Amino acid sequence: MQIDFAIESDYEYILLRDKHIHKTLIRPKLKENEILIIRESNQEIGWMRYGFFWDNTPFMNMIWIDEEYRGTGIGKKVVHYWEELMKQKGFEMVMTSTQSNEGAQHFYRKLGYRDAGCLMLENEPLEIILTKDLNQINVEEINERSDI
């Protein structure tokens, strides 16, 4: 498995699959290295996209792993990889969110994310906001990160 910054040649892959981003925002995010592509044997199998909450806190907006690769630890590796990138850039905290009716909340909590609040939009499930202090990474995570 490889994790790389997405490049222009990944544009079509993202455009066709990521239904949660406006197409005019894809190229700027590619330019700013805010999309990671996950590959297996040189084939794209997913992506992770982020931005910044209040323009100062890295916020993971989307992580997608193709169905046949889920449950294999790839998602965890991608999140750890991204967290390490953010830590190297000097950030001490990262954020993400998930809807309350999705199982992803349990995935993030297992990775050390803590509930920080919620957002209620009309006719939508509760959106749970989660944060992680990058200075509080435990020994198990350090060992896993050395395998990345």
Q: What is the pLDDT of residues 37-72, one digit of tens each?
A: 999 999 999 999 999 999 999 999 999 999 999 999
CA separation, residue 77 to residues 22, 44, 138 (Å): 27, 16, 15
Residue type, 80: H
Residue ranges of the chain with pLDDT lower than 50? Answer: 139
Q: End-to-end alpha-carbon separation of the chain, Å?
A: 10
Query: SS3 of 112, please?
Result: coil
Whether 96 and 130 have beta carbons less than 8 Å apart is answered as yes
pLDDT at 12: 96
